[in-house]
Structure 1
Amino acid sequence: IEAAAVEATADGFRWTFAPMVDVARDARWGRGLEGAGEDAYLSRQFAAARVRGFQGPDLSRPDAMLATPKHFAAYGAAEGGLDYSVSDISERTLREVYLPPFRAALDAGALSIMSAFNEIGGVPSTANPALLTGVLRDEWKFKGFVVSDYTADEELVEHGYAANPREAARQAFMAGTDVSMQSGLYARYLPELVASGEVPMARLDDAVRRVLRVKQRLGLFDDPMRGLDGPPAAQRTENPEFIALARESARRSIVMLKNERALLPLSKAGTKIALIGPFAEGTVDLMGAWSLSPGQSAPVGVDQGLRAALGADSSVNVVRGSGIESALPGGIDAAVAAARRKDSD
């Protein structure tokens, strides 16, 4: 995480919408891949460690980034594994499972937090004063600011919680959402809401102070271009130490449940391997979630890596077998045939 912060700040980024600390116990929920899994204790440890990695010991350092634990709260408990859905959980489960990773992240120093899309007990998180003011401010004494998830404030209308966008802006802001990420509702409606008295000026002052205080901690008032005057970004993102770290992290992340018939290590002498699956070939799917481009150096495909490691005497037969979400004509038959010709798969 510290390496990621160094690379990102080299391009001028001082705020990241991470870490995702939601506990995920439904395998159908795709965003579980961003978190630490189903265990609340492990999630707490990861949350704190990732915040420390992003922010370091001093937020004003040129290579430090403001962390944003998300999504507050219980987003991982969405019914049916459906994103943007409701979470029907008890107060005990909320406090014993889903809130502790956020508390760990804030205790580690995070000064921003992102509200969630989901409802809890019929109240969308972005307009939930019990969460954003009661828990965060009154109980945990959080001094940072809350940012909405994308257009979560605007979506209060779709939840049926707000009658219109103007009311959605008022509800979200008064509940404790200080910053609207994307919708533009605050810019559009807060001036008239303050002028009409529906939003007290004191509440607006609180939100502004929170944001300015964090910007001050980041050193942005002293040097808004902080971090951009070092070595070129390309050098920092192609740091050999970071590349080696990524490789070591990948090695350590691999778990083999059973080395049946002493399959590993593979022999380099004339081994025939069937590599089957929709991700077996190419590099487009290897960058993971939230990746827009491969960076300076393209990754190495699984098939490429195996061929390079095994040498000319061995063969790797790649068969897709199926698409990611659909069947391929003859795909299963081709995969079975390839498996029958292999030594290992």
Structure 2
Amino acid sequence: MALPRDDPFIEELIGKMTLEEKAGQLTILADTIRPCNPDINPEVNHRQANEMVDQIRLSRVGSIFNGVGVKEGREAQRIALEETRLGIPLIYGSDVIHGMWTVFPIPLAEASSWEPSLAQQTARATALETTASGIHWTFAPMVDVARDQRWGRVAEGSGEDVFLGQTFAVALVKGFQGQELTAEDSLLATPKHFAAYGGVSAGMEYNFVDLSEATLRDVHLPAFKATLDAGALTLMSAFNDIAGVPATGNRWLMTEILRKEWGFKGFVVSDYTADEELIHHGFAADGKDAARLAFTAGVDMSMQSGL
């Protein structure tokens, strides 16, 4: 279980932190110490390994993601614990979508089984392998309802049906996280993408979403609410806008619905540079403005942009 927000240890630690250290804890960057995909996406690796180590040592990053390798991971964690002022450990995250070392069917194929108990078992097996590799946090499951087969990410979710998608989403969260988040084999789940990413117009990635509030609530939000009720403590914000307001800068979505209406006590991480992309939406003037808009909307952690 998560520590309560008024836990004395946490409150004391926050009280010791500088503004820069707080910003560092709210930053997650691609792991360039042990990159897993340097040839697939070279832009990810523009920070060299030595620069990443310096960022950790200066407490400018609280989490790194998509790195593989126990030896280097242990050393990075040692630096965070022993060579920073407050010794706050790094959180290791990863896009573990359908298996870590053992590869399982894609989520869409699992949903075609109509047996959520099977998906829960594959998620549990994934959690065992992933946590044994030193990773704490997975950016899964994708719970977007997708009804346009032109959208390239349909494969990551459970398809077009709201109830089926909700049922499988809950099964996957339970499988990833297990009985207790404090257990060594518990993998923190991240239902994504909040919200309505599967409703992009014409199935075009990053496109706009034009829908009514009724459709948003009836089709695109139920799976998120169900996963939070099942114990998920983090969500990932979506790239798309909803009726002209980008999800990553949407206070109505991130605060009014998520926190106030649903009582969410966890945290929201932006998708990959989704906060910076508020500029491309024409919603933010520059990086500083984008960071302000995303943070005040209710996005807690910035992924990769460094904003």
TM-score category by the smaller chain?
A: 0.5 to 0.7
Q: Does 1:173 align with 2:173?
A: no
Q: Does 1:95 align with 2:241?
A: no
CA deviations on 1:163-208 (whole Å, 9 max, x unpaired) are 11110000000000000011000xxxxxxxxxxxxxxxxxxxxxxx
Matching residue within 212, 219, 241 for 1:119: 241
The DSSP-based 3-state class of the residue aligned with 1:146 is: strand
Residue 148 of structure 1 is matched in structure 2 by: 270
Distance in 2 of aligned mates of 1:59 and 1:171: 31
Residue 100 of structure 2 is matched in structure 1 by: none
CA deviations on 1:79-115 (whole Å, 9 max, x unpaired) are 0101111100110000000000001111110000000
- Identity, % of aligned positions: 64
RMSD: 0.5
Distance in 2 of aligned mates of 1:181 and 1:3: 27
Residue 281 of structure 2 is matched in structure 1 by: 159
Residue 198 of structure 2 is matched in structure 1 by: 76
Q: Does 1:38 align with 2:160?
A: yes
CA deviations on 1:144-166 (whole Å, 9 max, x unpaired) are 00000010000000000001111
Shift of 1:30: 1.1
After the TM superposition, which parts of structure 1 deviate over 2 Å for at least 4 consecutive aligned residues? none
Distance in 2 of aligned mates of 1:89 and 1:6: 39
Q: Does 1:24 align with 2:146?
A: yes
User: Residues 299-318 of structure 1 correspond to what in structure 2 (within 5 A)?
Assistant: none
Residue 2 of structure 1 is matched in structure 2 by: 124
Distance in 2 of aligned mates of 1:104 and 1:80: 27
The DSSP-based 3-state class of the residue aligned with 1:30 is: coil
- 1:99 alignment partner AA: L
The DSSP-based 3-state class of the residue aligned with 2:155 is: helix
Distance in 1 of aligned mates of 2:281 and 2:127: 36
Larger Cα Rg: Structure 1 or Structure 2?
A: 1
- 2:171 alignment partner AA: A
The DSSP-based 3-state class of the residue aligned with 1:71 is: strand
Q: TM-score, normalised by structure 1?
A: 0.53
Residue 50 of structure 1 is matched in structure 2 by: 172
- 2:244 alignment partner AA: G
- Stretches of structure 1 that go unaligned for 5 or more consecutive residues are 186-345
Equivalences, count: 185
- 1:167 alignment partner AA: D
CA deviations on 1:293-335 (whole Å, 9 max, x unpaired) are xxxxxxxxxxxxxxxxxxxxxxxxxxxxxxxxxxxxxxxxxxx
Matching residue within 127, 135, 138 for 1:13: 135
CA deviations on 1:14-45 (whole Å, 9 max, x unpaired) are 10000000000000011110100000000110
The DSSP-based 3-state class of the residue aligned with 2:289 is: helix
Distance in 2 of aligned mates of 1:176 and 1:86: 21
User: Residues 1-345 of structure 1 correspond to what in structure 2 (within 5 A)?
Assistant: 1-185=123-307
Distance in 1 of aligned mates of 2:193 and 2:249: 13
